Chains A and B, each alone.
Chain A
Amino acid sequence: MKREDHSAITAPGDGEPISHDQHHDGIDRRGFLKCMAWVGTGTFCVMKGGVLSSYSLGALPFRAHDAHGELSFVQISDSHMGFDKPANTDVVGTFKTAIDKINALPVAPEFILHTGDISHLSKPAEFDTVDQLLKPASAKDVFFVPGEHDVLNDDGAQYRERYGKGAQGSGWYSFDKSGVHFIGLVNVMNLKAGGLGSLGQEQLEWLEKDVKRVSHSTPIVVFAHIPLWSVYPEWGWGTDDSAQALAYLKRFGSVTVLNGHIHQIMQKVEGNVTFHTACSTAFPQPKPGQAPSPGPMKVPAEQLRSVLGITDVQQVQGKHALAVTDSDLA
């Protein structure tokens, strides 16, 4: 893993005010955020009993017992299996590298979350390839949500057949792991002309009911493909009706929102909610407004793996925010 200054690619999104210690609960959010600014370079941040510790993965031998949490999982995203244009002519190879990185993590993840655009053209062979490539992963359980590239041609019927067993509607569902409540949302269906991502009324009603039975002290993780916050609406990087979803989550002490779609790391903290978007394992996209369109961004071949990545998430005894660490594939 390269220890380079990734600030050009991974600097947190700017412009939004960040709240510090709003709740006077001793949680050092300012320190946490300063730490988060370095995560792209391979820094591992752990919250333990409200106290933030950071470990540099490159410089020190990693002390796994210090960072051992109660729950550990990995997010991968935007594998775009089947993509073969100049930005990356070997998406199979870079996906394999991502699996190798997962398998090399000091704390083996319990499961993997894939936040969508599994395939590039919703072709059966593309889904099959991803399934095969996931087999050697140390984590055997994989939970998916679809991206817009996964529901082409058939309103997502194939996606649901493969990955949506037990899910409702267009593929939303929830589950519990080690005291954390996970919610997979679908915001890539029934998109309206000129609009952004969309959750829809049926899903929102389901969400309201689903979280009613969950205690406010249970950490919540929401995962969906398109960002649930307004990253850059001009490029479709946002969800029209996410505010309502977030309103249902207001009473919870710790909410982590994990998204994909934009092929770069962006982070925002708003009260008790931490928003985080992941790198793609296939190709990067430009930062908002820094290119005519959000298409695949070509970088020199030797740099490609440094702008792709995986995200490791740990929950440590001590409630509140989960520790989110990004690493590249270099």
Chain B
Amino acid sequence: MNRKKWLVAIAVLVTAITIGASRHIFGASADGKAATPVEVKIDNFSFAPAVITIPAGTTVRWTNRDDIPHTVVSDDHTTFKSKVLDTDEQFTYTFTKPGTYSYFCSIHPKMTGKVVVQ
């Protein structure tokens, strides 16, 4: 009896560790911390990748590698809005709600991108 209970306890413990580890690997965590951000590069007047698909709770990080300043602004101008990013400056935003978020550079509005949150 004791042995069986002990085996069950170990099984539960191993399962818990596995679940915890897999949540970490796939970038989702209940408290939003320690998840690897998805990178978007800004260069040559474009966002790359232009379209990304991510699970809810993911943080996206934009890095400006261009030699001209850019911004990252959601089409509605309110959901997210970076300050002006000069070369090598970054902007991050964590997408908690599922949906499609189109954005653009408010200085050079022909530059557009999209984040699809599932």
Interface residues, chain A, with chain B CB atoms under 8 Å away: 85-87, 120-122, 148-149, 152-153, 191-196, 233-236, 292-296
Contact = CB atoms under 8 A, between A and B. Distances in A.
A23 B110 CA distance: 38
B109 A152 contact: no
Given A121-B84, A152-B84, A153-B83, A296 B67 contact: yes
B67 A85 contact: yes
Contacts of A233: 110
Interface in B68-109: 68-69, 71, 75, 83-84, 86-87, 102-104, 106-109
Given A194-B112, A292-B44, A293-B46, A152 B67 contact: no
Interface residues of B, number: 22
A149 B70 CA distance: 10
Nearest to A122: B84
Most chain A beta-carbon contacts within 10 A, residue among B69, B71, B103:
B69
Contacts of A236: 108-110
7 contacts: A191-B107, A193-B103, A194-B110, A195-B109, A235-B110, A293-B44, A295-B68
Nearest to A298: B67
A155 to B, nearest CB: 10
Nearest to A192: B109
A192 B106 CA distance: 8
B104 A193 contact: yes
B69 A295 contact: no
A295 B106 CA distance: 16
B86 A196 contact: no
A296 B84 CA distance: 18
Contacts of B66: 293, 295
A198 B49 CA distance: 28
A46 B46 CA distance: 43
A194 B68 contact: no
A86 B67 CA distance: 9
Contacts of A234: 110
Contacts of B68: 295-296
Contacts of B84: 121-122, 152-153
Contacts of A296: 67-68
Nearest to B106: A191
B87 to A, nearest CB: 7
Nearest to B103: A193
Nearest to A188: B107
Contact of A87 (B67, B69, B87): B67
Given A87-B67, A121-B69, A153-B83, A193 B45 contact: no
A120 B75 CA distance: 24
A127 B75 CA distance: 29
A148 B104 CA distance: 14
From A121, A193, A292, A295, name the one whose CB has the most chain B CB atoms within 10 angstroms.
Answer: A193
Contacts of A196: 109-110
Contact of B109 (A85, A120, A191): A191
B75 to A, nearest CB: 5
A153 B103 CA distance: 17
A120 B69 CA distance: 8
Contacts of B71: 152
B109 A194 contact: yes
A149 B43 CA distance: 18
B75 A193 contact: yes
A121 B86 CA distance: 8
Contacts of B44: 292-293, 295
Given A152-B84, A193-B102, A194-B104, A295 B67 contact: yes
Contacts of B110: 194-196, 233-236
Contacts of A293: 44-46, 66
